[in-house]
Amino acid sequence: MNPPLPKEFIAGLTEGEGCFDLQFRRDVKYGRPGSPVYYGWKAQFVINLRKDDTPLLEKVKDVFGCGTIHFQTSLEKEMARYSIQDIENLYKIAVPFFRENRLHGKKQKDFDLWAEAVEILFENKNPKNIKKGIRGFASTQWNKHDFQRLLELHKEMEQYKAKRKQGVKWISAAEAYVLTLPD
């Protein structure tokens, strides 16, 4: 049996190939009557490598003890993607790991913002989704301050991300929803 990867190696790999992702997402339930639309926050930790580096991602997964590996084709390349998406695993495993094994430069600043968002999501894990109906958003248990802070964190994190539409696609819906929350 091979020894586990050093934690410092995983931190370095994350600096080069990792991502701390926070998104406000839209999900349409087409199989349900009226195809209801739900919105919700999603945080994830991701490392993307070439498919032939899958054994390395398996070792990363072994160190964390959670997460999944998926395969995808991107720009004619076969890629392997390790991700942790479960909010409890992010809060209890990924955040403490990167607090203990600090990153450097912009990646550390990105992590600090993301970690705060994960903490907010963990504390608010019961109001998972926001339903949008004909008359606007359904009420949930979201605290206005927490929801507003997630919007601020998302915006602050943009400076550390590659230019992409994916993460900001539904932010206008989040901005509209926060206005409906009581102070």
Tell me the average pLDDT of the chain.
87
pTM score > 0.95 for this model?
no
**Phi, psi at 131, each rounded to 5°:** -90, 135
**Phi, psi at 85, each rounded to 5°:** -120, -20
Residue 123's nearest CA partner among 157, 83, 95 is 95
Average pLDDT over residues 10-24: 95
What residues pair up with 40 in beta bridges, in sequence order? 25
pLDDT tens string 159-180: 888 765 555 678 888 888 888 8
User: Given this model, what pLDDT does residue 133 score?
Assistant: 56
User: Given this model, what pLDDT does residue 134 score?
Assistant: 47
What residues pair up with 18 in beta bridges, in sequence order? 47
Average pLDDT over residues 51-72: 97
pLDDT tens string 83-105: 999 999 999 999 999 999 999 98
pLDDT tens string 106-151: 999 999 999 999 999 998 876 556 666 544 555 566 888 999 999 9
| CA 11 remoteness from chain centre | 17
Rg, Å, the chain Cα set: 18
Contacts of 150 (CB under 8 A, 6+ apart): 22, 24, 41, 117, 120, 121, 174
The owner of tokens 């958003």 is 137
User: Given this model, what pLDDT does residue 136 score?
Assistant: 53
Tokens of 62: 């072994």
